[in-house]
Chains A and B, each alone.
Chain A
Amino acid sequence: MKTDSAWKAISTWFGGGSIIWTLLGLALLLLVDAVWVKDFFTLEWRDGHLYGTPVDILHQGSKVMLLALGMTLVIATGGVDLSVGSLMAVAGAIAAWALTAGGMSAASALPLALLVTTLIGSLSGLLVAVLGVQPIVATLVVMVAGRGIAMLVTGGQILTLQDPTLRFIGGGYFLGLPFTVTLVVALLALTLFLTRRTAFGLFIEATGDNETASRFCGVPVRLVKVLVYAFSGFCAALAGIVATGNIHAADSARVGEMMELDAIFAVVVGGTALTGGRFHLLGSLLGALLIQTLTTTMYNLGVPPTVAPVPKAVVIVLVCLLQSPVFQARLRTWKKAKTPEVTA
């Protein structure tokens, strides 16, 4: 009984009971790795930082984690943001342009990229909030146009970048861990502060739960919507800069491709419902970690990337099923039917 309530406390802190299933999935996957992948958990201290596959997972997974934080808030308002993958490309392209053709230093180029990308992101917010366009359509428009803008900025080339700051953000180490981990933690702290210590979080949940009622209660629904899309754009910009720094180049055509789906997947696996309302930031991060672990496992097991979507699909459906109240209820009645004397 006592452990039960302790577990409950922990799980609510992590964002609701559904998180158990995400953790369970992750544990299962790690078990597969432990058995089939050689030296999966081997960690060494090398050149002043930790080195090993788990570190890679944290590092490569950080892009989806950053996206997932912004996506969580968008989904909590009952929307969805398909443009984040393209916005990553926009941020990378602008940073590359400013650093090369623009002749700027990283100190001004990166904020510029963040600012412009956030503004483009808030464009979909404006479309949704002010013009009443459906989120899928509004962000689809930004998604299609965004990739075009990014290609236009880099002239269709892959621009190689020498800038040390950018390279540090994408591939440097801080406190023995990839710097991107610090970035994720910092963004998480910021998001938690904004949503748990101010009324913003409450407004978001209210908007997602019942928009009309919220408006009557004086919640600035439109402003909230514009802000969450802007924030999602900001997160995408950070992820774009990380991705660009990671490969030391701005690859407008390919960076962030299909990543919006990974981000949505992470959020939902993390326990936030697509219908909006309550949201779980830590759950989203766990979801992102689950995806990256899955991807890395695929690489290690030699599964070609074209077939890799199949296990991903299975995981999505399983996690969704396990989180579904209907399925849980069925499971319970099934269990009861099997062991009637115990429950009686």
Chain B
Amino acid sequence: MKKRALLLLALTPFLLTQCGDGSKGGDSSSSNSLTIGFAQAGAESAWRTAETESITREAEQRGVTLKFSDAQGKQENQIKAVRGFIAQGVDAIILAPIVETGWEPVLKEAQRAEIPVVLVDRGVQVSDDGLYATLIASDFVAEGQMAADWLAKKTGGKANIIELQGTPGAAPAIDRKKGFEQGIAAHPEMKIIASQSGDFRRSQGKEVMEALVKAHPNLTAVYAHNDDMALGAIQALEAAGKKPGTDVLVVSIDGVKDAFIAMKDGQLNCTVECNPLLGPNAFDAVEKAVAGETLPKKTVVQDRLFEASQAAAELPNRQY
């Protein structure tokens, strides 16, 4: 018995220090400032971390109490988080859905509790789009198309392309593939000679490219669904004795800092920025939704394409 009490005692302060002054949330809802729950998908990439930081920073600046939850890449955790926010009675919820399906029941619950939900960076498939206030995201299809258009212009519509896909089944991977295929459809001499998933990872991008470059030595271009895979592929191309950026054109999507460094070094040719700094937009939407305004169902974040020639000038401005 003694031991048990001791261990309990040992555990309690640990919990207390972790949870500290968590009672703030309840108090602030009575005053003017808002309490917002943010259900983030995970922290798997620099892009994701930049998005989280953008939203946390914006919350601080606006004096909003932010309840943050990281689902660690699991949808079930994310649903739990949203339901937890609803039970807490937050004023609004920002949700960055991991996948597009499976949100109907929990969004209905939020609707019943009259808590508006703002979606960021990915849409959801629901029977009634009244279940969420608005979606703030990039257009993944357009991103793929921009990359294809640039490549078509640069190569004069002639290329043997190896495509590095993202995680199979993930919305950005599907849409970026679709957009790129639409983009090259008008150019019969632009062919995807091999397409394999690199799981959005740098290491996988390298490993897959090592294998593919040997099976398809006639490649002239690489299209990667994100910068990390492109950076891995560049290393594999170099090891295979090709000059990435000149012998083999490399285009990718996201626009992370490392991609700009690679462009400055002439190894990456262009990247389509997919802006993760959604904080200001998201909180504008949240404030309007809480005030009862009706919002447009989708706000498309404008993405820009950066070429190697712009890299040096743009690099200091990169936040992520």
Residue ranges of A at the interface with B (Cβ–Cβ < 8 Å): 37-39, 42, 46-47, 51-53, 56, 60, 151, 155-158, 160, 171, 243, 246-249, 251, 253-255, 295-296, 299-300, 302, 304-306
Contacts and interface: CB of A to CB of B under 8 A. Distances in A.
A151 B203 contact: no
A46 B202 contact: no
Interface in B211-238: 211-212, 214-215, 228, 231-232, 235
Pairs A-B, 7 closest by C-beta atoms: A299-B211, A156-B49, A247-B202, A253-B44, A306-B168, A156-B43, A56-B210
Given A38-B215, A56-B211, A302-B196, A249 B241 contact: no
Contacts of B43: 151, 156, 253
Nearest to A254: B201
Given A156-B49, A247-B203, 17 more contacts: A39-B215, A46-B241, A47-B241, A56-B210, A60-B210, A151-B43, A156-B46, A157-B46, A160-B258, A251-B202, A253-B42, A253-B45, A254-B201, A302-B196, A305-B199, A305-B204, A306-B169
Contacts of A46: 241
A189 to B, nearest CB: 27
Contacts of A306: 167-169, 197
17 contacts: A37-B215, A42-B214, A46-B241, A51-B240, A151-B43, A247-B231, A247-B232, A247-B235, A249-B258, A253-B43, A253-B44, A254-B202, A299-B212, A300-B215, A302-B194, A304-B197, A306-B168
B168 A305 contact: yes
Contacts of B195: 302
Q: Which of B194, B206, B208, B239 has the most CB of A within 10 A?
A: B239
A300 B196 CA distance: 9
B207 A299 contact: yes
A300 B44 contact: no
A181 to B, nearest CB: 15
B99 interface: no
B194 A158 contact: no
Contacts of A296: 211
Contacts of A247: 202-203, 206, 231-232, 235
Contacts of B171: none
A255 B203 contact: yes
Interface string B272-316: 000000000000000000000000000000000000000000000
A254 B44 contact: yes
Q: What size tier do the contact residues of chain B reach?
A: 35 or more
B152 interface: no
A161 B167 CA distance: 25
Contacts of A42: 214
Interface in B231-260: 231-232, 235, 239-241, 258
B309 to A, nearest CB: 22
Q: Which of A246, A295, A305 has the most CB of B within 10 A?
A: A305
A60 B207 contact: yes
Contacts of A56: 207, 210-211, 214
Contacts of B261: 160
A156 B235 CA distance: 23
A52 B203 contact: no
A56 B212 CA distance: 12
A53 B239 CA distance: 12
A59 to B, nearest CB: 8
A88 to B, nearest CB: 11
B197 A158 contact: no
Interface in B15-45: 42-45
B203 A251 contact: yes
A119 to B, nearest CB: 22
Contact of B196 (A155, A156, A160, A299): A299
A253 B197 CA distance: 18
A37 B216 CA distance: 11
A37 B258 CA distance: 34
Given A246-B206, A296-B211, A251 B201 contact: yes
Contacts of B214: 39, 42, 52-53, 56
B56 to A, nearest CB: 12
Nearest to A307: B168
B18 to A, nearest CB: 13
Contacts of B197: 304-306
Q: Which of A52, A299, A304 has the most CB of B within 10 A?
A: A299
Contacts of B241: 46-47, 51
A246 B202 CA distance: 10
Given A56-B211, A299-B208, A243 B45 contact: no
A158 B215 contact: no
Contacts of B232: 247
